[in-house]
Amino acid sequence: MLQLRPNCECCNRDLPPDSQLALICSYECTFCRDCVEGVLQNVCPNCGGGFMPRPVRPKNAYRPGVSLTQQPASTNAVHSRYCIEEMQAFSQKLASIPPAER
């Protein structure tokens, strides 16, 4: 089950569980759309992978026990260990390679 991290690891923007701005890589690194497009060029600064929209967990239990109420989003903020300049430099090295080929 996805953690649904509460913030962008780059700019610390709030990304609530129903945010349409949250993008994740295959390791659940979580960034906002503005940082992915403007800073990271669709390159995860942690693993080098690409990003996809983070799914929204249903607020209501349409099946017993399966909803945001029973399985809440994480409240632990995650911050990248890299500064923005390091993230940009790393992203530039890989940006010309499609995510499926990295």
Integer Cα distance of 81 and 84 in angstroms: 10
- pTM, to two decimals: 0.93
The pLDDT tens digits for 10-61 are 999 999 999 999 999 999 999 999 999 999 999 999 999 999 999 999 999 9
The pLDDT tens digits for 38-48 are 999 999 999 99
